[in-house]
Structure 1
Amino acid sequence: MSFDLPRNVILPVDAVDVRLDPDPHPFALDNAEAIAENWQREIAANPALFDGTVVLLSQLAYRDNRLVGRCHAVTYSTFMLWRKRRENSGAEHAYAHAVLVAGDNALVAIRMGLQTVNAGRVYFAAGSFEPVDFRDGQVDVDFNMIREVREETGLDLSGAERGKHWHALSTNSGTVIFRRYHETAPADEIARRISAFVATEAEPEIEGPVIIRHAADLPVGLSPHMKPLIEWHFSGEDSLV
């Protein structure tokens, strides 16, 4: 098990070859009792949590503008324990962001709902990779992006113009794979649509939209990994890709 990629730098990515291994993740096998005990504490503190299925990496490398790796399906309860024991765990987390760019070049992010694990945090609509995001064993990053944006905001980005390439930012807390998705409507109109969708949801995942209009426009609760992405966008770097 190895993780070999530059940290804390935005990387161009031409291909994502991350495969789903059918075998259990070693972290899940080695920590079964602790996972069960921790989950009881987690749901006691937040009964809204659901023990679904996500994936954890056992390998990820960056080679020739490609991300190559292996991951395993795990329960969300396994993921929750890993969050507390990630150092030297033999596991890492990767997730995807559709960087939603409005017609006026503002960015539209979301603030997570109070009942969620990341309550109050601001980032682009996203969720962990799940088995449904894999095609013939290989992750479909854009499928995950479009699915998560639709589930959280009601927006359908399947017809939106996309950047030609992905990018990635890897930190000690995980690796985010991101891509611009361009909408023609201004940010205020997109935010209105999201707010209208949230109002119809019995148990919305998000509190609502957050508009970011320039590099210094950093909202309260912004997740640490977001600042480099915001600066990258407004710098104009790769503005057409």
Structure 2
Amino acid sequence: MQEALRDVLRIESLDLSVGPFDWAFARERRADIDDHFEAARRDRPGLWNGRVLLMHQHEIEGSTLRGRYFETDFASFMAWRDFGFPGGEVTNCFALGALRGSDGVYVLGVMSAGTMNPGRIYFPGGTPDLSDVVGAEVDLEASVRREVCEETGLDIVALDIDAGWHCVPAGPMIALLKPMQSRETGAQLRERISANLARETEPELADAYLACATSDIHPMMPGFIEVFLRTVLRSAAD
């Protein structure tokens, strides 16, 4: 087990299920949601109103995160975020791969122009969907492994993957970061990712971004990424 990080929770196990939930926001604001999504698609026609999973209850007990997800449409999720997370009853709990090179450099992705978050800088991963459901359970371990492979083209088998998670609660969001250690340097990983993106017709990432010091924290990073990087990079410098 890795040493616990300051300002970031250490989670060793997940107990996540899925079931029905009547989300008042999606029901009551349907017309506003549909109008908002159509407006977004005029600028980003590649947006797809698929099905995603959000969480309506959760608790952290010791080093275990327990939660219950429900299924909704992407348009409702996007509007909920863009309207300022109204309601206070729902959480976006998602998994990201905290990819790190052999030289200690973290490797993130710059989201492409056609995505929900153009230009934003994240670790690869994202909000779970129906493909992450096994029976009545949500498998975020499988989700983050698949997303890292799809977004970067890296061979997931070649990465040393931590058994646990680092958790950054951020208001209506819970970011679960899975430490993934490569035997290649950050620069080598970026070169591999760039080559993979060049082969794709509609890549989700526009570029890879390297962070090896707190000075590399960028304004296009969301708050939970900044919290994580400040914590791990300061720990490495101590």
Q: TM-score, normalised by structure 2?
A: 0.89
TM superposition outliers: structure 1 runs of 4+ over 3 Å: 22-27
Measured after TM superposition, the shift of residue 9 of structure 1 is 4.2
Question: CA–CA distance in 1 between the matches of 2:84 and 2:182?
Answer: 39
Structure showing the higher helix proportion among its residues: 2
Question: CA–CA distance in 1 between the matches of 2:120 and 2:179?
Answer: 20
Measured after TM superposition, the shift of residue 29 of structure 1 is 2.8
Question: CA–CA distance in 1 between the matches of 2:182 and 2:136?
Answer: 31
For structure 1, which runs of at least 5 residues remain unmatched after alignment? 1-7
Q: Check if 1:43 corresponds to 2:35.
A: no
Cross-structure match for 1:93: 92
Question: CA–CA distance in 2 between the matches of 1:162 and 1:45?
Answer: 37
The 1:29–1:220 alpha-carbon spacing in structure 2 relative to 1, beyond 3 Å, is closer
Measured after TM superposition, the shift of residue 159 of structure 1 is 4.3
Residues 102-181 of structure 1 mapped to structure 2, 5 A cutoff = 102-181=101-180
Q: Is the 8 A contact 2:25 2:86 kept in 1?
A: no
Question: CA–CA distance in 2 between the matches of 1:59 and 1:125?
Answer: 25
Residues 65-84 of structure 1 mapped to structure 2, 5 A cutoff = 65-83=63-81, 84=83
Percent of counterpart pairs with the same letter? 24
The 1:29–1:121 alpha-carbon spacing in structure 2 relative to 1, beyond 3 Å, is same
For structure 2, which runs of at least 5 residues remain unmatched after alignment? 1-5
Aligned residues: 230
Q: Is the 8 A contact 2:10 2:166 kept in 1?
A: yes
Q: Give the aligned CA root-mean-square deviation in angstroms.
A: 1.9
TM-superposition CA deviations, 1:207-232 (whole Å, max 9, x none): 11111112332135222211111122
TM-superposition CA deviations, 1:162-191 (whole Å, max 9, x none): 223212111124110112101001111110
Q: Check if 1:56 corresponds to 2:54.
A: yes
Question: CA–CA distance in 2 between the matches of 1:198 and 1:214?
Answer: 25
**Between 194-203 and 86-95, the greater mean CA deviation after superposition:** 86-95
